[in-house]
Structure formats: structure tokens, C-alpha cells
Amino acid sequence: MNTLSLPQTIEQVIKNRQKMFSEETNARSNQVSQFLSEDNELLADAVISLALDKNLLLKGPTGSGKTKLAENLSQIFKQPMHSINCSVDLDAEAFLGFKTINEKDGKQIIEFVPGPVVKAMKNGHLLYVDEINMAKPETLPILNSILDYRRSVFNPFTGETIHAESGFGVIAAINEGYIGTVPLNEALKNRFVVLDVPYIQGDILKKVLMTESILKDEMLLDKYVLLSEDLITQVRNGQVPEEAASIRALIDTCDLSAYLPPLRAIQRGIADKLEEEREKSAIMNIASTLFEEKKR
């Protein structure tokens, strides 16, 4: 947070949150690496939005760092975060929780196991809804009353209306146009402040690779930065899918390159994840022009 330029009132909100949750913050939050972006204002805008109790919707391509940004926000506020990974199979239980049978004092009892929404609301924590537009449209209305001024939800499994504690915030991530997604309902989208999270490129990408990957050969890393630029161009031209330019996949590839020839690493870490042979060939052709001297 020291590198952020924030209004004094926002800094005070952050300090108050940190005092509330410092004892609850788990050890992992202290190990989260810094979110980096070419947009220097992106992190500051996200922090200010959360401090003002706004819901955040992070839009960006696969592997652009949306989850990393959410983790950094949790770390900045020292505020635990509960996550939901959306899919077409997601139902109300995945949001709210479920009933189960347990044994107590020799008797079987029915207990309710709270889900991420309930836990986040009752404890004033953060809720992270990843790939929110992967969920079925009939499931998402559960979030409507959570995201507006009511900050409450009716739990049909317990008959309880849950009201969010102070500090509760929602961060959602969306990847528009990805296979399996549906357009987000406008009424739902209007409940968010929207931030575009772009691809990481150039010197910032190299810094990320140096930090996140075990590969330390700077000449190779420079070539992977160039490979990433070429793949992003191919994605924007519609030649390959977004996952081909994923930073996560690139980090995996760099790790493999510490032990494998670059072309083999690129094939395992990027190309073979794709479905179409045409797409795989396009990636390997690009890679061969950058790493041809490594080819055996």
C-alpha cells in the first residue's frame, strides 16, 4: 500500500479494517505476491472502491491477473476472502451452504454447513465470485439483494435472513466471450463498479516472470516476453483462443524451461492445452521463430 497514492480518508478506512481483521488474516495472505499492471491507477481505484463499500467487477482475459488483484486487495485490507468458482453446475447450496447429518451425544442431528456467501456476510469478510458469467442465469439472482443497499439474503435452508456485517465486500471476475459464458444481466452488472484488467506486457511481464517463475535466465525471459506479445496479437486477431496468452500458462512454461528445451516447454505448457491442431501449429510456428537456435 505504500506505493499507492490514496486520500487520507481512504487510508483511515484501510487502517480500521486492518485492526478488525489482523488476527483473522491467515498466513497465506502474507505470501501473496504483488499485483502488477501497466495501469498504475488500477490497484488504487480498486482499493478506493472497496473502501467505499462498492462491489467490484474485474473484466479481463484469461490469466490477466484478476484473481491476483483480488488476493492483493484481501491482503491490503487484512481481510479474509471466501471464494466461489462459478460453473454451469453451480446451485444455491454452493453459494449459501447445505444441510448434513451429524452425530452428537449418540444422536443424529441435522446441521447447516454455511457456504462462502454466508460466511463472508456474517464475518464481514470479502467474497470473491470467479467467472461469474459461467453460472446459470437462474442462480445469479441470489446475489441481487447482497449487492444492493439491502446487503442481505434470505437463506431457504435455514429460514434465516442474513444481514452483512460491516466490512463485507464483493469482488467478481468476468471473462467476456469465453466459451461457456453467458452475457451478464444488466441489472446485476449495474450493481458493480467495473475495472478492466488488461494483459500484462513488456517490462512488467518480465518482472512478473522473474518473481513467479523458477526460470532466471534473462535472455530466455526476454524471448518469452516477445512470445507473449505475439500470442496476444494472435488472440486479438482471432487466430488462437485467449487461454493461449494466459500468464499462468506462460509461468508454467518458464518453469518447464528451467529443465526442458524451450520449444518442448512451450508445447507442454501452452500449445497442447488447445483443442485444434491449427491453433497448436500457429503457436509452435511463432515459438520456432523465437527459439529456433534451441531446436534440436
Give the residue among 75, 166, 78 at the shortest CA–CA distance from 122.
166
Range 8-196: architecture per CATH: 3-Layer(aba) Sandwich (3.40)
User: Which position has the grid cell 524451461?
Assistant: 257
Rounded to an integer, what distance in angstroms lies between the CA atom of residue 126 and that of residue 120?
6
Length of the chain: 296
Beta strand residue intervals within the chain, DSSP E: 55-59, 81-85, 97-104, 107-114, 126-130, 152-155, 160-163, 169-174, 192-196
Which cell is 249 given?
500458462
Give the residue among 55, 79, 46, 45 at the shortest CA–CA distance from 132.
55
Per-residue pLDDT of the chain (296 residues; tens, 9 = 90+): 446 788 999 999 999 999 888 665 544 445 556 777 767 789 999 999 999 999 999 998 877 889 989 999 999 999 999 999 888 788 888 889 988 888 777 788 888 899 999 999 999 999 999 988 887 777 788 888 899 889 999 999 899 999 999 999 999 998 865 555 566 778 888 899 999 998 888 998 999 999 889 999 999 999 999 999 999 999 888 888 888 998 889 999 999 999 999 999 999 999 999 989 999 999 999 999 999 754 44
> Per-domain residue ranges for the chain?
8-196, 202-291
Residue 78 has what pLDDT?
A: 92
Give the residue among 161, 168, 171 at the shortest CA–CA distance from 191.
171
Residue 25 has what pLDDT?
A: 54
Rg for the chain (alpha carbons), in Å? 22
Which cell is 167 given?
466490512
Angle, helices 218-236 vs 202-212, to 10°: value is 120
| 164: enclosing H helix or E strand | none
Which amino acid would we find at residue 33?
S
Residue 295 has what pLDDT?
A: 40
Residue 181 has what pLDDT?
A: 59
pLDDT, tens digit (0-9, with 9 covering 90-100), for 101-144 = 887 777 888 888 999 999 999 999 999 999 888 877 777 888 88
Query: CA dihedral defined by 223, 228, 230, 233, rounded to 10 degrees?
Result: -160
pTM assigned to the model:
0.83
Residue 256 has what pLDDT?
A: 97
DSSP state of 168: -
Which cell is 91 given?
446451485
